[in-house]
Amino acid sequence: MGLSKIRQIEAHDDSELSFPPEGDAKPYEVFIQLNRGQPHVHSGTVDAVDGKMALSYAKKHFGRDQECVHMWVVPREAMISTNYDGEIIWPLTDQGYRLVRGYAIDVRRKWERFRDQEELDRYQDDDIKEMF
Amino acid sequence: MDMITDDLKTPFSQLLLSIADDKLIQGHRASDWTGVAPILEEDIAFSAIAQEEIAHAAELYRLVADLTGGNADALAFGRAAEEYRCASIVELVDEFDWATAIARHFFCDHLDGLRFGRLANSCFTPVAGLAARIQAEESVHIEHVDTWVQHLGHGGDDARGRMQQALDALAPHASMMFEATQGGELVESAGLFPKADADMFDQWLTGLKKITGQAGLTLNVTRPAPDAVGGRRGQRSGDFAELLDEMSEVYRQEPEAAW
Amino acid sequence: MSAGVTTAVELKMDWEIQEDPQRTADFQARIDAKGLIEVDDWMPHNYRVGMLRMCEHHANSEIVGALPEGEWITRAPSLLRKLALIAKVQDEVGHGQMLYHVCQDLGKPRDQMLRDLCTGKTKYHNVFNYPAPTWADVAMIQWLVDGAAILNQKSLAEGSYGPYVRTMKRINMEEAFHFKSGEDMVLTLMSGTPRQKKMAQEAFDRWWAPCLMFFGPPDSDSTKTGPFMTWRIKTKTNDTLRQTYVDRFAPAAKALGLIIHVAHKDKDGMVAIKPDGNPDMVVDEQIQFDEESGHWGFTQPDWDEFFRVIKGNGPCNKQRVALRRFSHEQGHWVRQAVMGSAGLPPSAN
């Protein structure tokens, strides 16, 4: 059989390897941007010994499945994160006053004094299209 | 221009074949590391490079087929050994030695950067456009392989020794990449493969030595003798017959069939 | 984004363990509400170990799965097939890399996982212990085995562990290309010369049973209700997945003109040859669509063979582990060099 030379391995043994554990290289988080104007999104992690190597690996690994215009790699140790357990990011107090939903119903009710139903629906559609 | 005269078709296709065959066989050897390379991330990267080499070869074969007939697969898999035009450096088995694989790419990728730079200025527009695109991808290969030469050169005595040994072993084969193809002067003077300002061999060697110098390695490559005959004239190295048998094992079962 | 787990995790299941009841209840409530668990979340010890083991087994399978098809990279019969096969095998390695990272973040270094794999301490999927002796096997692997993998992974993508679920979704996107390319190869062979069709049928006869076994042994009561199901580490039982697979692939094979056989295999994983020189197999008469149940029937594969192969006595177990080990040993000096060359002199960068 014309099997490639490097793959013709017959010897087999389950003994321990002759060298000690090597340890892993440093993890770098990879963020890709699919098009200009879009945010960078987390795509995966590569292990590398320095940033240059990490970027080179990230390009080949995470930059080839989809078209991609830009990429960041960040050493994981440089990332500072929150904790899921008990750390508050989104305040528990109602924040309706700083959100659209805090006003939407009131505004519509108030408009009803000035406009009929059909007009109001059209206005609301336009509102969604033009303003948001 | 997008037509060339009949007298130039054969010499130009000889040149294009020499480059395409280098790339096919370099990519073929490199692709054999897929799944068994030393580091997972490198496995993926090296495999990507192998794919690009073979994809470049495929595009060059299509150009040759347009010039002289046939098709890309028949050129890649269906020729007799002496009809291939690659240099021996791409044919050699690397014996599963990473330093040898890297040394091969170091010599080949630097040359590709230069020869595609020249082809990008070709008066034959179909080649010029393709060459400019390939050259851009080659610069990524060069960056990748240069980094490896640096890592191995600075990776301790054992690694430096292995890298040095691989460079020394491949150096004579590397220089034979510069063996002239049949009718080579004709395609140069016709502007199909225009000469650059500086001599290509000198430029190549300067580029390589910059990296080996930084990596604490030495390089001994000399220009091939003008009458040296090698791969460009169909002389094959010992490893090629086996390579070709393996590569075309399935293709030759039914060359006319679609696979 | 996880800061990673830095404390060493004891990687054994412990069913005597006393977990905090409140945390356990909160954890189960999140899972029951189809919520996802992230690496930084508290999780029961056995969930962590179970998840890690399953993911490590999956990662190992990707890495070893690159080997049978890898054998055909240097022999692919056209430029297109050569490129596609390299890309496919490269994807497997990429999947292994991503899955190992899920495990690394759960507490086991990749280096240790690769060592355990090549010294036989951990396992990989049984299906990769079968041989790929012809080009048609590559086609069948990409169609039948990758088809099975997609079904399985789709169900795993509905699991509870966020990092694994995200990886599954990504992997499935790439598997879709493998599957399509496999379909294309099978269709090409079955539209080809008599020799190509014969090649395809013979490869099909080798791969059908291993693919039925792909989903694991028949369900017992415990697998239907066990902790892996309640924690949504698994979401569908083996038998459910197997039936879905047969429902999809039996009619497709039939339409292509492939015949589904019940075959007896020799120790090399090839269909055994009877003394009269004919292959030791019969047409599977169970392959019939049952209007009432809406499912296709099939003959169960040889489960004794399954357990024999899992114990390490399959046709290719030794060869696969040996090549993986050889690769790891050959790469040792390279990894040493790279680790040692961290922070190259300024001139080099």
Quick one: pLDDT band at residue B3, thresholds 50, 70, 90?
A: confident
Say if residues C199 and C135 touch (Cβ distance below 8 Å).
yes
> A79-92, pLDDT tens digit by residue?
999 988 778 888 88
Task: Inform me whether the C-beta atom of residue A73 falls under 8 Å from chain C C-beta atoms.
Answer: no
Top residue of C62, C63, C79, C196 to mutate, by most chain B CBs within 10 Å, is C79
d(CA A117, CA C41): 49
Domain identity same for A28 and A68? yes
Which comes out higher in pLDDT, residue A102 or B211? B211
Residue in C120, C298, C92, C90 with CA at minimum distance from that of residue C211: C298
Sign of the torsion formed by the C-alpha atoms of C307, C313, C316 and C317: positive
In this structure, is residue A119 part of a structural domain?
yes
Task: Inform me whether the C-beta atom of residue A78 falls under 8 Å from chain C C-beta atoms.
Answer: no
Measured between CA atoms, how close is A70 to chain C, in angstroms? 19
Tell me how far CA of residue B79 lies from CA of B53, B74, C295, in angstroms. Answer: 19, 7, 51
Say if residues B214 and C349 touch (Cβ distance below 8 Å).
no
Within 8 A by CB and 6+ apart from C110, the residues are: A24, A47, B40, C100, C101, C103, C104
On the 0-12 / 13-18 / 19+ scale of CB atoms within 10 A, C197 is middle
Domain identity same for A41 and A70? yes
Query: What ipTM describes this predicted complex?
Result: 0.97
Check whether C2 has a pLDDT greater than 70.
Answer: no
Check whether B52 has a pLDDT greater than 80.
Answer: yes
Say if residues C231 and C150 touch (Cβ distance below 8 Å).
no
Nearest to A21 among C40, C104, C112 (CB): C112
For the beta carbon of residue A128, count every other beta carbon within 10 angstroms. 8
> Are B144 and A61 in contact (CB < 8 Å)?
no
Say if residues C284 and C260 touch (Cβ distance below 8 Å).
yes
List chains touching A (3+ CB pairs under 8 A): B, C
Nearest to B51 among C87, C93, C189 (CB): C87
Quick one: pLDDT band at residue C343, thresholds 50, 70, 90?
A: low
> A7-58, pLDDT tens digit by residue?
887 666 778 899 999 999 999 999 999 999 999 999 999 999 999 999 999 9
Say if residues C190 and C200 touch (Cβ distance below 8 Å).
yes
Residue in B145, B143, B170, B123 with CA at minimum distance from that of residue B12: B123
Q: Report the percentage of chain B scoring pLDDT > 70.
A: 100
In this structure, is residue A12 part of a structural domain?
no
Measured between CA atoms, how close is A88 to chain C, in angstroms? 15
Check whether C6 has a pLDDT greater than 60.
Answer: no
In this structure, is residue A48 part of a structural domain?
yes
In this structure, is residue A5 part of a structural domain?
no
Nearest to C339 among A14, A18, A49 (CB): A49
Q: What pLDDT, on the 0 to 100 scale, is given for residue C131? A: 95
Angle at A97 between CA A95 and CA A100, to 5 degrees: 95
Top residue of B41, B52, B53, B94 to mutate, by most chain A CBs within 10 Å, is B41
| Domain containing residue B75 | 6-253
Q: What pLDDT, on the 0 to 100 scale, is given for residue C71? A: 94
d(CA C13, CA C98): 24
Count up the domains in chain C and report the number: 1
H-helix or E-strand spanning residue A48: strand A41-48
Check whether C285 has a pLDDT greater than 50.
Answer: yes
In this structure, is residue C310 part of a structural domain?
no
Say if residues C194 and C215 touch (Cβ distance below 8 Å).
no
Q: What is the CA radius of gyration of chain A?
A: 28
φ/ψ of residue C164, rounded to 5: -70, -40
Looking at residue A32, which CATH number applies to its domain?
A: 3.10.20.520
| Domain containing residue C70 | 24-299+315-326
Angle at B110 between CA B108 and CA B114, to 5 degrees: 110
Check whether B119 has a pLDDT greater than 90.
Answer: yes
| H helix and E strand count, chain B | 10, 0
Quick one: pLDDT band at residue C271, thresholds 50, 70, 90?
A: very high
Q: What pLDDT, on the 0 to 100 scale, is given for residue C347? A: 46
Check whether A6 has a pLDDT greater than 80.
Answer: no
In this structure, is residue B159 part of a structural domain?
yes
Where would I find the H helices in C107-237? 110-118, 135-140, 146-156, 162-190, 194-213, 221-225, 227-230
**Which of A13-22, C223-232, C337-346 reaches the highest mean pLDDT?**
A13-22
Q: What pLDDT, on the 0 to 100 scale, is given for residue B249? A: 96
| Domain containing residue A56 | 24-78
Say if residues B76 and B61 touch (Cβ distance below 8 Å).
yes
Quick one: pLDDT band at residue C9, thresholds 50, 70, 90?
A: low
Check whether C7 has a pLDDT greater than 60.
Answer: no
Say if residues C293 and C217 touch (Cβ distance below 8 Å).
no
> Are C41 and A85 in contact (CB < 8 Å)?
yes
Q: Which two tokens stand for residue C153?
A: 């992974």
In this structure, is residue A84 part of a structural domain?
no
φ/ψ of residue C279, rounded to 5: -65, 140
Return mean pLDDT, chain B.
Answer: 96
Q: What pLDDT, on the 0 to 100 scale, is given for residue A90? A: 85
- The helix/strand/coil state of B156 is coil
> Are B258 and C192 in contact (CB < 8 Å)?
yes
Check whether B51 has a pLDDT greater than 80.
Answer: yes
> B29-47, pLDDT tens digit by residue?
999 999 999 999 999 999 9
Tell me how far CA of residue C30 lies from CA of B97, C38, C103, in angstroms. Answer: 51, 11, 22
H-helix or E-strand spanning residue A42: strand A41-48
Check whether A132 has a pLDDT greater than 80.
Answer: no
φ/ψ of residue B203, rounded to 5: -60, -45
Q: What pLDDT, on the 0 to 100 scale, is given for residue C348? A: 45
Strands A26-33 and A70-75: antiparallel
Domain identity same for A30 and A67? yes
Q: Which two tokens stand for residue C76?
A: 């692919």
Compute the half-sphere exposure of residue C173: CA atoms within 13 Å on the CB side of its CA: 9
In this structure, is residue C338 part of a structural domain?
no
- The helix/strand/coil state of B61 is helix
In this structure, is residue C349 part of a structural domain?
no
d(CA B27, CA B20): 10
C348 DSSP 8-state letter: G
Return mean pLDDT, chain C.
Answer: 92
d(CA C242, CA C299): 12
C91 DSSP 8-state letter: H
d(CA A50, CA A70): 19
Count up the domains in chain B and report the number: 1
Q: What pLDDT, on the 0 to 100 scale, is given for residue C13? A: 86
Looking at residue B110, which CATH number applies to its domain?
A: 1.20.1260.10
d(CA B105, CA B49): 10
Quick one: pLDDT band at residue A96, thresholds 50, 70, 90?
A: confident
Residues in chain A: 132
Looking at residue C285, which CATH number applies to its domain?
A: 1.20.1260.10
Q: What pLDDT, on the 0 to 100 scale, is given for residue C18? A: 93
> C29-81, pLDDT tens digit by residue?
999 999 999 999 999 999 999 999 999 999 999 999 999 999 999 999 999 99
H-helix or E-strand spanning residue B152: helix B125-153
Task: Inform me whether the C-beta atom of residue C231 falls under 8 Å from chain B C-beta atoms.
Answer: no
Measured between CA atoms, how close is A36 to chain C, in angstroms? 22
d(CA C137, CA A78): 47
In this structure, is residue B258 part of a structural domain?
no
In this structure, is residue B1 part of a structural domain?
no
> What count of CB pairs under 8 Å joins B to C?
155
Within 8 A by CB and 6+ apart from C205, the residues are: C261, C263, C271, C279, C281
Q: Mean of the pLDDT values across residues B182-201?
A: 95
Quick one: pLDDT band at residue C222, thresholds 50, 70, 90?
A: low
Count up the domains in chain A and report the number: 2
Q: Which residues of A touch B32 (CB under 8 A)?
A: 4, 6-7
Sign of the torsion formed by the C-alpha atoms of C26, C28, C29 and C34: positive
Quick one: pLDDT band at residue A94, thresholds 50, 70, 90?
A: confident
B-contacting residues in C 117-136 (Cβ below 8 Å): 135
In this structure, is residue C57 part of a structural domain?
yes
